[in-house]
Amino acid sequence: MNAPSLKRDWNAYYKAVKERPPRKTILTALAAFENPGLAIDLGCGIGRDTIAILQRNWTVLAIDKSPDAIAQLQTDLADFAPQLQTQVSQFKELKITQTVDLINASFCLPFCSPQAFPSLWEQIVNSLKPGGRFCGHFFGDRDSWGETDLIHTLSRSQVETLLQPFTIELLEEEEHPGKTPLGEDRDWHIFHIVARKL
């Protein structure tokens, strides 16, 4: 039997989270750097985390598959235009060509297909400088959305395997019933990560 399909209305999601602050993971990662550098914000949405990176004088390449999200981010963050580049791209087509200090991926990598993920993760690891940081989230194998075809989930040991090229600075596991920003019931199982490349 095929897995049930669960399509996301990302524009409704952006509206629902518009006023929410940047994530703890990006704030923790930024606080660990002595100097600003070059960052990629993967699956940036409308820039909930991008703004925190720009405000600390970093240069940012913000990437998302949604042209609507990128257009809104460009408008909302127009004051930071000299520090900001954007790219509309699907994870499966993405080629990271720069070497960077920070890659942020908040609540987006689980939406990369299991087929495309290994190559994307290899690019993430290889494009970070030694001492650079990855921060972001994965969904765990007890997340109720794992039974749909929308996300791919990882066990804790799979997450730890992915993080072998890093020193783990933050690895928090969150698991509880709750609601999505759009009010849907969901059993959340989330890994919150900050890791420094060896």
Ligand X SMILES: C[S@@+](CC[C@H](N)C(=O)[O-])C[C@H]1O[C@@H](n2cnc3c(N)ncnc32)[C@H](O)[C@@H]1O
Residues that bind ligand X (CB under 6 A): 10, 17, 43-45, 48-49, 64-66, 69, 90-91, 106-108, 111-112
Of the pair 34, 103, the CB lying nearest ligand X is at 103
Of the pair 118, 131, the CB lying nearest ligand X is at 118
Q: Which residues pair with 64 in a beta bridge?
A: 88
Q: Token digits for 166?
A: 């890093």
Do 160 and 121 meet the contact criterion of CB atoms below 8 Å apart?
A: no
| Number of neighbouring beta carbons within 10 Å of residue 196 | 19
Q: Which tokens go with 119? A: 């190559």
- Residue 130 Cβ vs ligand X, minimum distance, rounded to whole Å: 25
- Amino acid identity, position 114: P
Give the integer Cα–Cα distance in Å for 111 and 162.
17
CA–CA–CA angle 66, 119, 89 (5° rounding): 15
Q: Which one, 112 or 128, has the nearer CB to ligand X?
A: 112
Closer to ligand X by Cβ: residue 40 or 112: 112
For ligand X, the closer CB: 65 or 197: 65
Half-sphere exposure of 66 (CA within 13 A, CB side): 22
- Least distance in angstroms from the C-beta of 74 to ligand X: 14
Least distance CB 21 / ligand X (angstroms): 10
The answer to whether the CB of 104 falls within 8 A of the CB of 147 is no
- Contact assessment for residue 108 and residue 120, using Cβ atoms and an 8 Å cutoff: no
Minimum distance of ligand X from residue 106's CB (angstroms): 3
Minimum CB separation from ligand X for residue 38, in Å? 18
CA distances from 134 to 13, 55, 70 (A): 24, 19, 22
With CB atoms as reference, the residue minimizing the distance to ligand X is 45
- Give least dist CB 149 to ligand X, A: 13
Question: Which residue number, 44 or 162, has a Cβ lying nearer to ligand X?
Answer: 44
